[in-house]
Amino acid sequence: MNKIHKCGQWYWREGEIKYAEFEKLKKEEKEAHVKFLQTLDHLGSNDKAILLTMRAKEKQANKFLEL
């Protein structure tokens, strides 16, 4: 189980990466990290932000291809 720490309104999972670090990853590494996050029971605030951003980008890409 991952340890979660609360700091104000934010939750931090031990070992989570910062959003800025996530943005520097290669596409394949980002996809692997997202798959890893989806397997966790407890997410930190950064983890949730990463998942929400990736879903938004995915939806935006899908709409681009719609007719």
67 has a pLDDT exceeding 70: no
pLDDT over 60 (residue 13): yes
Place of tokens 């890409």: 61
- pLDDT category at 5 given cuts 50, 70, 90 is confident
Give domain status of residue 55, yes or no. yes
Task: Tell me if 2 is assigned to some domain.
Answer: no
- The answer to the question of residue 5 being in a domain is no
The domain tally of the chain equals 1
Which residues, other chains included, contact 25 with Cβ-Cβ below 8 Å and sequence gap of 6+?
33
- Could you tell me the residue range of the domain that residue 59 belongs to? 18-64
Burial of 59 from C-beta contacts in 10 A (0-12 / 13-18 / 19+): exposed
Report if residue 25 sits inside a domain. Answer: yes
pLDDT in tens, 19-65: 999 999 999 999 999 999 999 989 999 999 999 998 877 766 555 55
What pTM, to 2 d.p., does this model score? 0.77
The answer as to whether 12 is a domain residue is: no
Q: Is the dihedral of CA 15, 37, 49, 43 positive or negative?
A: negative
35: in domain: yes
